[in-house]
Amino acid sequence: MTKSVVLADPRGFCAGVDRAILTVQTILKAAEASGKRTREDGLPPVYVRRQIVHNKHVVEDLAAQGAVFVQELAEIPDAAAEAGIPIVFSAHGVSPAVKAEAAARGMHVVDATCPLVSKVHREVLRFVKEGYEIIYIGHKGHDEAVGVVEESPEHVHLIEHASDVDSLDFQPDTKLVLLTQTTLSVDETAGTITALKARFPWLEMPPNSDICYATSNRQAAVKLVAEQADCVVIVGSANSSNSVRLMEVAQEGLNARYASKTAVGAAGRAHRVDDASELDPAWFEGVESVGISSGASVPDELVSGVVAALQELGYQDVSTIETIKENMHFVLPAELRK
């Protein structure tokens, strides 16, 4: 039996994640170059509110370089603002209240919010100004969703699934528009949108889909991988929405492939791991081909580690399925370009 690995391409870092990580790295390098890598006052060279991206390895690496991560701005001492130490907002965006708190405390903010997330924030403000009620498909508690909803909580109505549509109640004379979290499953969202249009036929769609190009591209690629692989491994952290969605899309593809035949051994399953150390050899019993992809916040060296571990298990042949070449690039935040 020839054992093989099938890699999805594109996978891994998107432009927004790359920009956010580079933002923190740029500040750290500037601090080191100016001799502030270790400050006499005991303060770090940079604070970051929440995880800069949802990947524990990226966060641990930046922390090892001197970045200090906090959940809320209240954890940052006033001395940091007085010293002009940069406070970075993560790629997922923040609410107006967080921005106001930072401004009131005189903090030197560097906003690393993904431009595609910022677009959704601007859409909320524009549609509310035009008198719309906004139905927002997203995941409750996710940093991105929290920031978007808080732009206008009285006018933004969050739902997660098609089953939530019945909880909404709008009259036909209500102006309605739909917005979505950028990291959702394209297929899952389609089902919810169908249910919404059936309930509210006058619901308006945004000019362009809010689901980001990287999310769509990675899901399309992993669907093709699932057609050729007996099982699929997604590299990404548990709190990464797009990584979890990738695993779900891969599982749906495997379900379709194995609908007409009985899975052999561990075939027909999708798994998510942070890195190669979480692989379980039992997952690959009777499996000839393993598909691999990774979330938009995952460094490719973690994927390489998974491939190496699978090669040790006998999966020597490695091929790639490429669906599209990504050339998107976002410039650094304005605060760093001055």
Positions marked active-site:
144
Q: Which CA distances in Å does 183 have to 143, 144, 210?
A: 12, 9, 9
Q: SS3 sequence, the chain?
A: CCCEEEEEECCCCCHHHHHHHHHHHHHHHHHHHCCCCCCCCCCCCCEEECCCCCCHHHHHHHHHCCCEEECCHHHCCHHHHHCCCEEEECCCCCCHHHHHHHHHCCCEEEECCCHHHHHHHHHHHHHHHCCCEEEEECCCCCHHHHHHHCCCCCCEEEECCHHHHHHCCCCCCCCEEEEECCCCCHHHHHHHHHHHHHHCCCCECCCCCCCCHHHHHHHHHHHHHHHHCCEEEEECCCCCHHHHHHHHHHHHHHHHHCCCCCCCCCCCCEEEECCHHHCCHHHHCCCCEEEEEECCCCCHHHHHHHHHHHHHCCCCEEEEEECCCCCCCCCCCHHHHC
Q: Which CA distances in Å does 203 have to 102, 121, 150, 179, 193?
A: 36, 19, 22, 11, 10
Cis peptide before 153 (omega within 30 of 0): no
